[in-house]
């Protein structure tokens, strides 16, 4: 286990959303093992209660996409912990495929993958500005730096999540607010299992265990660097996209054609 990251001394009061399973559960477990006081939230009450019991955390079941859900989570966490030092906005969905996906799937994806972060920041940042410190960690995705074939709403929403986190950091860093964006490729969770044959094929070789992602995040909390990349190769793809966008897009399109050929 690595050293305690600066700013996350034992007793640090944290909230993790989407913590009933997958990356959120692993993050909450790592934070609790590091001595943090943890509040976990998820719409799936039963597995959430099990996680909370195991971690001696408070479970706040409910939907964390809308304004009311975020507000009641923030209130419950403040009542229980006496304040919130760090927020891990991790709950996310991956719905729909291709141009056929419905208006409702686009809207639901935007609500949770983007607006939940905006709503949480709106409630948390004023308190953190008064205190001169606070930490906001968004679980985005490598799809937020690159793209995810077949998944337009997921890609767009994760780009927006990274953009919002960048905006927060650019606006408030000098006032003590640390913002970080976790951008993994495939992680072995229910989301990856549900994502269909294509995504499983694309991430077959490099899908990480959620605990490995959580350990990378724990280590990166100390450095306070903005991008947390559990798959280090993403940094190279991101640089290639920026420095030669057409070559990068051509490579993505070649991958798409290979997939179509394999499917035919």
What's the DSSP call for residue 181? E
What track of x and - describes contact with ligand NAD for positions 234 through 263 (by CB under 6 A)? ------------------------------
Question: Site for ligand NAD (CB under 6 A): which residue of 44, 46, 130, 233?
Answer: 44
Q: What is the DSSP string of 199-254?
A: HHHHTTTTPBPHHHHHHHHHHHHHHT-SEE-SSTHHHHHHHHHHH-HHHHHHHHHH
Residue with Cβ nearer ligand NAD (43 or 133) = 43
Determine, following the binding rule CB under 6 A, whether residue 8 of this chain makes contact with ligand NAD: no
**Three-state SS for 130?**
helix
Phi/psi of residue 44, nearest 5 degrees: -100, 95
Two structure tokens written together for 233: 């190769």
In the bound state with ligand NAD, the residue whose beta carbon lies nearer, of 76 and 129, is: 76
> Of 1-9, 14-22, 117-125, 165-173, which segment contacts ligand NAD by CB under 6 A?
14-22
Contact 62, 41 (CB under 8 A): yes
93 vs 228, which CB is nearer to ligand NAD? 93
Indicate whether 160 belongs to the interface with ligand NAD (CB under 6 A). Answer: no
Which of the ranges 77-85, 86-94, 95-103, 164-172 carries the binding residues for ligand NAD, by CB under 6 A? 86-94
Residue 5: left if φ>0, alpha if ψ -120 to 50, beta else—which one? beta
63 binds ligand NAD (CB under 6 A): yes
Binding status of residue 191 toward ligand NAD by CB under 6 A:
yes
Contact 144, 165 (CB under 8 A): no
Does 141 engage in binding with ligand NAD (CB under 6 A)?
yes
Catalytic residues: 154
Residues that bind ligand NAD (rule: CB under 6 A) add up to a total of 26
What is the H or E stretch that residue 37 is in? strand 37-42
Site string for ligand NAD, 162-181 (x = CB under 6 A): --------------------
Cα angle for residues 118, 87, 156 (degrees, 5° grid): 40
Answer for the pair 84, 127: CB distance below 8 angstroms, yes or no: yes
Which window, 41-49, 122-130, 231-239, 248-256, contacts ligand NAD (CB under 6 A)? 41-49
Helix (H) or strand (E) holding 135: strand 134-139
Q: Which is nearer to ligand NAD, 55 or 91 (CB)?
A: 91
Provide the mask over 99-128, with x wherever binding to ligand NAD is found by CB under 6 A and - wherever it is not: -------------x----------------
CB atoms within 10 A of CB 89: 31
How many residues appear in the chain?
264
Judged by CB under 6 A, the chain residues 20 through 39 that form the site for ligand NAD are 20-24
Binding site for ligand NAD (CB under 6 A): 18, 20-24, 42-44, 63-65, 90-93, 112, 139, 141, 184, 186-187, 189-192
């Amino acid at each position: 286990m690595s050293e305690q990251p600066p700013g996350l001394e034992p007793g640090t009061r944290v909230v993790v959303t989407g913590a009933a399973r997958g990356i959120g559960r692993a993050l909450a477990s790592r934070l609790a093992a590091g001595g943090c006081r943890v509040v976990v939230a998820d719409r799936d009450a039963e597995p959430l209660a099990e996680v909370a019991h195991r971690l001696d955390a408070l479970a706040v079941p409910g939907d964390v996409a809308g304004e009311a859900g975020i507000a009641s989570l923030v209130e419950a966490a403040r009542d229980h912990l006496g304040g919130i030092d760090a927020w891990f906005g991790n709950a996310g969905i991956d719905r729909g495929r291709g141009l056929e996906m419905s208006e409702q799937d686009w809207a639901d994806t935007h609500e949770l993958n983007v607006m939940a972060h905006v709503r949480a920041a709106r409630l948390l940042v004023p308190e953190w500005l008064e205190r001169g410190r606070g930490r906001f960690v968004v679980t985005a995705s490598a799809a937020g730096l690159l793209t995810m074939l077949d998944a337009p709403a997921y890609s767009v929403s994760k780009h927006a999540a990274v953009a919002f986190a960048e905006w927060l950091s650019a606006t408030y860093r000098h006032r003590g607010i640390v913002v970080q964006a976790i951008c993994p490729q495939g992680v072995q969770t229910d989301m990856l299992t549900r994502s269909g044959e294509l995504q499983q094929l694309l991430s077959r070789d490099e899908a990480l265990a959620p605990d490995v992602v959580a350990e990378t995040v724990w280590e990166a909390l100390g450095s306070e660097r903005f991008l947390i990349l559990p798959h280090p190769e993403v940094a190279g793809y991101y640089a290639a996209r920026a420095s030669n966008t057409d070559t990068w897009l051509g490579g993505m399109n070649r991958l798409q054609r290979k997939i179509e050929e394999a499917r035919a």
